[in-house]
């Protein structure tokens, strides 16, 4: 099958097209012919080797972390899907590789594609939608009336998180550039801070939850807008010891990750708030719940640009250079 992979960690020059054997299937797996896959910042970090200490993939590694496609074969223990089903998924972190013609995925990680979406639209959702669900519902346990700040509301993650937070009954603020203010208002944001004109930490206050997609100074300043007891959930890092324990990392790695986030956690403690890092997990059950919201018109995908599969490297470069105006970048098979 045709793929895009890396044989060593590095910059964009490390990504190349290559023929690879078709995936091996387990008893609980579905084999999916991929119609579309989206490009995520995670793909760039994996390419660079940013997670090689905690996600020790064997090289060569086929890149790509979510997809939409058609089931072409099912394992003998599969009960949820049949050949011909249109599905979408974020594969388990140990089984990524959606920049390819085929992928084998455990049935528990797969859901039927929302009926009203194209393959490209559906492919844009799994990773960012699951991350939004797990941040807002599993981790933050957002309740109606709470105040939630989502950074970069026009981005791939932010555009879905804003919509989900609003659906949960939250009062939602977000940050965006001047050109994107109307877009994020259309997604449901109650307050939009134009970061080209205002510093968000000077105009926002008393928030219960901040979802940080940027890290660095933005993360530090986010602590200032929380009320006592509030939570910052970081999608961009730094990782913490709890994340290392989730991965089953050894004590040395747990201590190393704890050190990476020490300053942030200390600053948070001094303000009587908390910081935690979220690395989303595959979940077919959560995708099914999200599908219900999509089919009901509560959440809509935002797709910036679609590339043909043979331009996957160009699609990754487009994302890396920050060119998307809003939402996700998708590659489609021809």
CATH label of the domain that carries residue 64: 3.90.180.10
Bin 147: left if φ > 0, else alpha if -120 < ψ < 50, else beta. beta
- Residues whose CB is less than 8 angstroms from the CB of residue 37 and which lie 6 or more positions away in sequence, other chains included: 64, 66, 67, 68, 98, 99, 123, 330, 331
What is the reported pTM?
0.95
Residues 101, 52: contact at Cβ < 8 Å?
no
Q: What percentage of the chain exceeds 70 in pLDDT?
A: 100
> CATH number, domain at 142?
3.40.50.720
Q: pLDDT confidence of 115, banded at 50, 70, 90?
A: very high
205 and 252 both lie in a single domain: yes
Would you say residue 286 lies in a domain?
no
Would you say residue 246 lies in a domain?
yes
Would you say residue 287 lies in a domain?
no
260 and 305 both lie in a single domain: no
Domains: count for the chain: 2
Question: What domain range includes position 54?
Answer: 2-125+301-332
- DSSP secondary structure letter of residue 30: E
Residue 179 to residue 163: CA distance in whole angstroms: 19
Pairing of strands 29-39, 86-89: unpaired
Q: What percentage of the chain exceeds 90 in pLDDT?
A: 87
170 and 85 both lie in a single domain: no
List 70's β-bridge partners, or say none: 33, 86
Would you say residue 192 lies in a domain?
yes
Would you say residue 96 lies in a domain?
yes
265 and 311 both lie in a single domain: no
Would you say residue 112 lies in a domain?
yes
Q: What is the mean pLDDT of residues 203-226?
A: 96
What confidence tens digit (pLDDT) does each residue in 257-316 have?
778 788 999 999 999 999 999 999 999 999 999 999 999 999 999 999 999 999 999 999
Would you say residue 291 lies in a domain?
no
What confidence tens digit (pLDDT) does each residue in 163-182 have?
999 999 999 999 999 999 99
Q: What is the mean pLDDT of residues 184-196?
A: 97
pLDDT for 251 equals: 79
19 and 94 both lie in a single domain: yes
């Amino acid at each position: 099958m045709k793929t895009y992979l890396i044989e060593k960690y590095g910059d964009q020059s490390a990504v190349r097209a290559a023929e690879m054997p078709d995936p091996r299937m387990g008893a609980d797996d579905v084999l999916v012919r991929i119609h579309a896959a989206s490009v995520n910042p995670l793909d760039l970090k994996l390419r660079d080797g940013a997670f090689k200490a905690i996600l020790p993939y064997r090289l060569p590694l086929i890149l790509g972390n979510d997809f939409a496609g058609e089931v072409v074969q099912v394992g003998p223990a599969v009960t949820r899907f049949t050949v011909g089903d249109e599905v979408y998924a974020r594969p388990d972190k140990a089984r990524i590789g959606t920049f390819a013609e085929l992928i084998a995925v455990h049935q528990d990680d797969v859901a039927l594609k929302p009926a009203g979406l194209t393959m490209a639209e559906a492919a844009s959702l799994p990773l960012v939608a699951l991350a939004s669900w797990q941040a807002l519902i599993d981790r933050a346990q957002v309740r109606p009336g709470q105040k939630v700040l989502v950074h970069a509301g026009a981005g791939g993650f932010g555009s879905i998180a804003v919509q989900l937070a609003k659906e949960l009954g939250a009062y939602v603020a977000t940050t965006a550039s001047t050109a994107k203010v109307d877009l994020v208002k259309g997604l449901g944001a109650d307050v939009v801070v134009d970061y080209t004109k205002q510093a968000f930490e000077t105009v926002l206050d008393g928030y219960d939850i901040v979802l940080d997609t940027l890290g660095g100074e933005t993360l530090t300043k986010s602590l200032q807008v929380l009320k006592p007891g509030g939570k910052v959930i970081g999608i961009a890092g730094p990782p913490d010891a709890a994340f290392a324990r989730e991965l089953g990392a050894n004590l040395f790695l747990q201590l190393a990750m704890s050190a990476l986030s020490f300053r942030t956690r200390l600053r948070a403690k001094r303000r009587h708030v908390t910081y935690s890092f979220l690395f989303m997990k595959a979940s077919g059950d959560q995708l099914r719940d999200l599908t219900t919201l999509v089919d009901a018109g509560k959440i809509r995908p935002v797709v910036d640009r679609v590339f043909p599969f043979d331009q996957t490297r160009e699609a990754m470069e487009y994302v890396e250079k920050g060119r998307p105006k809003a939402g996700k970048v998708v590659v489609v098979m021809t």
